[in-house]
Amino acid sequence: MPATRPHGMTGAGLPAVLLAVTGLLVGLDTGLISGALDPIARHFAMGLTAQEQTVSIVMIGAACASWTAGICARRLGRRRTLRLALLCALAGAALCVTAPSPLQIMAGRLIMGAAIGTFAFLTPLYVAELAPDRLRGRLISTYSLLQSAGILLGYLTGAALDPATMWRVMIGVPFLPAALLLILSKLVPESPPWLVAQGRVPDARAVLRRLRNDATMAERELTDIERAGGTTTTAGFAFLRGHPFFRRTLMLGIALQVFQQFSGVNVILYYAPRLTRQAGVADAWVPWVPVAVGVANVLVGVVAVLVVDRLGRRRLLIASFLIMAVALALSAVCAGATFAGAPWGLIAGLVLFVIGFGLGAGPVVWMLCSEIQPEEGREFGVACSTLANWIADWLISSLSSMSWRPWGSGRPWAFWPPSTWPSRSWHS
């Protein structure tokens, strides 16, 4: 037998990182549309309602796909589902770039939303099934880190290009990483639990040995997977009815995702340039304030990746929501105020909020929603919590502009901070 390496569990690193790069595509969409929305609206003479629909239609596609992705992942396998999602991303980007009308842009963004929803469901689940226990948290949080990097890249693209004339180039940027990932997806092995569920135990053993670089460890993990019955021995609803503990973890996952969105994070990320302009910041600085937000998001994401396994999920989550509540309260005070420095006080609040989100509410929530579910119900549990996330995201993003219309510039901020507190109590 070849020599084994008890601590050489890095074989899962490359496939997990490639999967996590799907987070870059998710973030790119957010960062790019925030800068391209106003020029798109001017080009097609779109009203405020049409602009809201252009942003929020992605969430509709994502919500639908987050549920159907579970069916595809169970029947077709994780890798085929990943490739289908990448093809959707390519098609969505192509439709947006060539759009002669707002309807085609919305169609493209709906298809892109289907890809994003599939990534959000599939990546944490897939990584959790490929990664060893001691690296699972770090590798899953890499997905959130790269999502933050994608947002920053989108903001930088908007700052570097002239959105008024280059908005088609901007919204076509996701085509390149999607094409590259589609080519590299052959390096990602199929999920061992899914292979076991299909009766392909020898294939699962071969994958585990390649991922773990340790035959003994691979056999032990394979035994655990077989004992759990792979991933599909029990239907989601049937397992839910027969196991009260699963009902509790399912509700916890849904609650975490809903309160993550009710914190208002995507209102800030989608509308950062508009919020900056409304705060009274000079036009020359408007494209660069979102970049500062994106840089803070990435830097704190790196910190989260490094400390998540050392400090634990609970501590990071509580600290995260406390910081977010304070930051949004500060923003509510400064938004629309007339005292000197109020606009920059608002910007400071935005940056502090994103720091809090990137520390825990972003990466830890996605991590927990995969980790807390039992093996037999993980696929169903992740699908339900991901669906809840996108529905909440759609609701908040759709209502955000309406809240600005009758209330003015300061009041909407006051709504968001209390919504951060239930998440803290759920995980106490």
Contact partners, residue 80, CB within 8 Å, separation at least 6: 72
pLDDT tens-digit profile of 180-219? 999 999 889 999 989 998 989 999 999 998 888 888 888 8
Alpha-carbon distance of 207 to 211, in angstroms, equals 6
Alpha-carbon distance of 190 to 193, in angstroms, equals 9
Count how many Cα atoms sit within 13 Å of the Cα of residue 313 in the half-sphere of its side chain. 21
pLDDT tens-digit profile of 406-420? 444 444 444 444 444
Between vectors from CA 292 to CA 287 and to CA 293, what angle results, nearest 5°?
Answer: 100
Whole-angstrom CA distances from 170 to 2, 33, 46, 117 are 50, 8, 19, 21
pLDDT of residue 34: 85
Alpha-carbon distance of 18 to 187, in angstroms, equals 8
Whole-angstrom CA distances from 77 to 81, 193, 194, 235, 331 are 6, 10, 7, 16, 45
- pLDDT band, residue 176 (cuts 50/70/90): very high
The more confidently predicted of residues 319 and 233 is: 319
Alpha-carbon distance of 189 to 204, in angstroms, equals 10
Alpha-carbon distance of 124 to 403, in angstroms, equals 33
Q: What is the mean pLDDT of residues 225-231?
A: 70
Identify whether the C-beta of residue 171 lies closer than 8 Å to the C-beta of residue 154: no
Alpha-carbon distance of 196 to 191, in angstroms, equals 9
State the DSSP H helix or E strand holding residue 4, giving kind and residue range, or none if neither. Answer: none
pLDDT of residue 229: 64
Alpha-carbon distance of 325 to 47, in angstroms, equals 32
- Domain ranges for the chain, please list them: 13-191+231-426
Find, among 31, 16, 66, 3, the residue nearest to 394 by Cα. Answer: 66
Which of these ranges, 71-75, 253-257, 343-347, 354-358, has the smallest mean pLDDT? Answer: 343-347
Place of tokens 């927990």: 368
Where are any strands of DSSP class E within 118-201? none
pLDDT of residue 415: 46
pLDDT tens-digit profile of 2-41? 434 444 335 667 788 888 889 999 999 988 988 899 899 9
Alpha-carbon distance of 171 to 150, in angstroms, equals 13
pLDDT tens-digit profile of 82-112? 999 999 999 999 999 999 999 999 999 999 9
User: Which two three-digit tokens encode residue 168?
Assistant: 């088609």
Q: What is the mean pLDDT of residues 267-287?
A: 75
pLDDT of residue 216: 86
Identify whether the C-beta of residue 370 lies closer than 8 Å to the C-beta of residue 124: yes
**pTM higher than 0.85, yes or no?**
no
pLDDT tens-digit profile of 51-82? 888 988 999 999 999 888 988 998 999 999 99
Count how many Cα atoms sit within 13 Å of the Cα of residue 4 in the half-sphere of its side chain. 15
The more confidently predicted of residues 12 and 121 is: 121
Q: Could you give the percent of the chain with pLDDT greater than 70?
A: 88
Alpha-carbon distance of 210 to 132, in angstroms, equals 12
CA dihedral 83, 149, 16, 387 (to 10 degrees): -60
Alpha-carbon distance of 54 to 43, in angstroms, equals 14
User: Which two three-digit tokens encode residue 137?
Assistant: 């948290």
Q: What is the CATH number of domain 13-191+231-426?
A: 1.20.1250.20
- b/e 278-290 (16+ beta carbons within 10 angstroms → b): bbebeeeebbbbb
pLDDT of residue 424: 42
Query: In 335-377, which residue ranges form alpha helices assigned H by DSSP?
Result: 342-356, 363-371
